[in-house]
């Protein structure tokens, strides 16, 4: 059973502390600096405020990427963003969390109590500062590093120029290394509270991001970050007692196990070995609406993402003799990586329960305002009817998942050129092992020297805009699939310097449309032609067959602009602080 120990958020608490009038007389019902900062519970109470900044359930986390096609063009992917006059992630309110963590760090020293307990909460706060700054670096690149709670008279700091991103990232790493050393082990804290391995996972994530950002922009020193990423992830692998597990799938169809999908609709993740840190939800106390949102998306999965799934022999579709083509959705899923049928709606996926009997959704509508590509993402849909009422979903959410640790380890080692087959077996092949269906097939494992995928080229050019080894290509493929719709894809495109990915026409296309598909949809939708009035993309595939794919944006194409890797600063801040400069390309 889920332990009902979850973080209580105290809205406005930090602001109340900062705004209080400190006098010799303290009202008994008020919180001020004179009656706070006394005991370790005060530190815990303060730290609770920042837990809302961690990842939370959302079905739109990958919308700005090549995985998804929204029903209207994404402004960033189509380069339609303009420089904001104000806000834009740089307003005063966007820096309040950083001010508040610095306020803690300048006041906690008066607390008396167990030193290890105090150090733990300082570790939490430094984790949250690192988390805030990592997000700001990803958004803006260079940002001012602040390690004190500013007041209005701090003119020199208030009007500082931006600090170089490397300086800021190194400070982020310092905070996370402190956190990893001082946070307690998972078994010594309440469920849902930060611990040592959560800090190590964010450390590994930050170092992988910055190491690859630098490597693919020819900046020196990238190796040290990737070495830290590999070391931090390996420490979790060696010490954390985590594992890739098969979720309990009580609602399934015969011969179609759903181990992967079930991991994402687990009611209780607190004892799940794949969960490094859960966000805990409790019926009638704290709930969310993700399961209902899954079928109200207004976007579909791209054809390009669908084609990235290998066959069960481990070979890509352009090489595997097991590939059955895409003349129908069921053919397209036949003999493929089981994660495809686990995360894309199909007739063998339980859509809802009629009593205890699982019922499939007969066909996804391809209406532009519903699922414009025909590929509906179902990764987070629970077939239990009660979970699909508005804001009544109660299953937990992964803030940190062990699968990412394995993917970081494999990628960092591959980028460093030090990866071995045992490394692959400890990481990528652990993810493949989950997909095995005993007595049916064993999912093809990744080798140190995989075959080169013909689809690594798009129109004769390297998919990523530059050549990479077949092994690294497969590791990136594995990451794209395993972490799909969890909010990683845009960051990956940016750190790999691979914006050209979104120029691939198939990132805006949907399902294959032929006479058989049209007739099947007519029968399922009472004679209505779901494809009438829609645009199509016609081409010849690698086998020489003519194809017609559903096109979401008529007469549209995308051209990448490197300025999109970073956000623009708002013009009001540039006017207020003459020491600030605009990001490249946004002038």
Following DSSP, what letter does each residue of 420-449 receive, concatenated?
A: -HHHHHHTHHHHHHHT-BTTTB-PPPP-SS
pLDDT at 66: 98
Which token pair is 468? 């990479």
How far is Cα of residue 424 from the mean position of the Cα atoms in its chain? 22
What CA–CA distance (Å, rounded) separates 485 from 479?
11
pLDDT at 22: 37
What CA–CA distance (Å, rounded) separates 291 from 311?
28
* Region label for 278, one of left (φ > 0), alpha (ψ between -120 and 50) or beta (otherwise): beta
Question: Per-residue DSSP letters for 344-398?
Answer: B--TTSEEEEETTEEEE-S-----TTT-TTS--B-TT----GGGGSTT-B---EE
How far is Cα of residue 59 from the mean position of the Cα atoms in its chain? 11
Strand, coil or helix: what is 317?
coil
Which token pair is 150? 């500013």
pLDDT, averaged per 10 consecutive residues of the chain (587 residues), comes to: 42 44 44 85 97 96 96 95 96 91 96 97 98 98 91 64 97 98 98 98 99 98 98 98 88 77 94 97 97 86 98 98 95 96 91 86 85 94 93 97 99 98 98 94 98 96 98 98 98 98 96 94 90 91 87 90 98 94 95
pLDDT at 73: 93
What CA–CA distance (Å, rounded) separates 499 from 497?
6
Which token pair is 175? 């905070």
Q: How many CB atoms lie within 10 A of CB 212?
A: 23
Closest CA to 192 of 404, 14, 395, 3: 3
Which token pair is 188? 């010594």
What CA–CA distance (Å, rounded) separates 156 from 487?
37
What CA–CA distance (Å, rounded) separates 69 from 85?
29
The runs of H, that is alpha helices, within 468-530 are 470-482, 489-495, 515-524
What CA–CA distance (Å, rounded) separates 397 from 278?
6
pLDDT at 355: 81
Angle at 331 between CA 329 and CA 332, to 5 degrees: 60
Q: How many CB atoms lie within 10 A of CB 53?
A: 12
Strand, coil or helix: what is 308?
coil
DSSP code for 61: T
What CA–CA distance (Å, rounded) separates 234 from 226?
12
What CA–CA distance (Å, rounded) separates 396 from 197?
19
Pairing between β-strand 350-354 and β-strand 461-462 as defined by DSSP bridges: unpaired
What CA–CA distance (Å, rounded) separates 259 from 435?
8
pLDDT at 30: 52
What CA–CA distance (Å, rounded) separates 183 from 135?
21
């Amino acid at each position: 059973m889920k332990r009902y120990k979850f973080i209580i958020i105290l809205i406005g608490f930090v602001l109340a502390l900062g705004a209080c009038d400190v006098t010799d007389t303290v009202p008994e019902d008020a919180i001020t600096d004179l009656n706070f900062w006394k005991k370790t519970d005060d530190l815990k109470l303060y730290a609770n405020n920042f837990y809302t900044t961690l990842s939370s359930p959302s079905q739109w986390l990958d919308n700005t990427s090549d995985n998804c096609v929204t029903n209207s063009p994404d402004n960033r992917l189509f380069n339609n963003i303009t420089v904001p006059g104000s806000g834009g992630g740089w307003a005063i309110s966007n820096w309040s969390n950083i001010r508040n963590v610095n306020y803690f760090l300048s006041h906690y020293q008066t607390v008396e109590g167990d030193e290890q307990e105090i150090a733990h909460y300082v570790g939490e706060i430094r984790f949250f500062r690192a988390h805030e700054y990592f997000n700001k670096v990803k958004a803006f690149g260079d940002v001012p590093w602040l390690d004190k709670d500013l007041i209005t008279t701090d003119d020199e700091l208030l009007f500082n120029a931006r600090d170089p991103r490397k300086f800021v990232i190194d400070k982020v790493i310092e905070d996370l290394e402190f956190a990893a050393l001082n946070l307690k082990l998972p078994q010594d804290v309440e469920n849902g509270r930060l611990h040592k391995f959560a800090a190590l996972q964010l450390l590994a994530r930050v170092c992988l991001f910055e190491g690859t950002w630098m490597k693919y922009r020819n900046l020196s020193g990238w190796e040290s970050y990737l070495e830290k990423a590999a070391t931090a992830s390996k420490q979790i692998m060696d010490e954390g007692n985590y594992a890739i597990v098969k979720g309990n799938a009580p609602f399934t169809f015969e011969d179609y196990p759903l181990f992967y999908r079930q991991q994402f609709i687990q009611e209780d993740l607190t004892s799940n070995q794949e969960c490094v840190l859960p966000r805990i939800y409790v019926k009638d106390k704290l709930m969310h609406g993700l399961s209902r949102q899954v079928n109200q998306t207004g976007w579909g999965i791209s054809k390009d993402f669908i084609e990235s799934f290998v066959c069960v022999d481990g070979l890509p579709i352009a090489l595997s003799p097991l590939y059955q083509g895409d003349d129908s959705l069921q053919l397209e899923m036949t003999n493929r990586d089981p994660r495809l049928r686990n995360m894309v709606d199909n007739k063998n996926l339980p859509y809802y329960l009629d009593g205890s009997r699982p019922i499939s959704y007969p066909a996804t509508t391809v209406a532009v305002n519903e699922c414009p590509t025909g590929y509906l993402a179902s990764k987070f849909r629970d077939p239990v009817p009660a979970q699909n009422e508005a804001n009544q979903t109660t299953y937990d959410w992964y803030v940190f998942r062990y699968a990412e640790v394995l993917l970081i380890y494999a990628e960092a080692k591959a980028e460093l050129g030090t990866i071995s087959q045992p490394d692959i077996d400890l990481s990528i092949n652990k993810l493949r092992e989950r997909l095995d269906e005993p007595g049916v097939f064993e999912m093809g494992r990744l080798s140190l020297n995989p075959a080169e995928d013909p689809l690594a080229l798009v129109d004769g050019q390297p998919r990523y805009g530059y050549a990479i080894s077949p092994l690294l290509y497969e590791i990136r493929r594995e990451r794209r699939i395993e972490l799909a719709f969890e909010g990683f894809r845009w960051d990956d495109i940016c750190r790999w310097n691979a914006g050209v990915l979104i120029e691939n026409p198939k990132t805006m296309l949907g399902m294959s449309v032929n006479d058989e598909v049209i007739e099947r949809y007519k029968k399922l939708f009472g004679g209505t032609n779901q494809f009438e009035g829609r645009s199509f993309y016609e081409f010849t595939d690698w086998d020489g067959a003519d194809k017609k794919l559903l096109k979401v944006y008529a007469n549209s194409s995308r051209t990448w602009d490197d300025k999109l890797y970073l956000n623009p600063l708002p013009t009001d801040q540039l006017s207020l602080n003459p020491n600030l400069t605009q990001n490249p390309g946004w002038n």
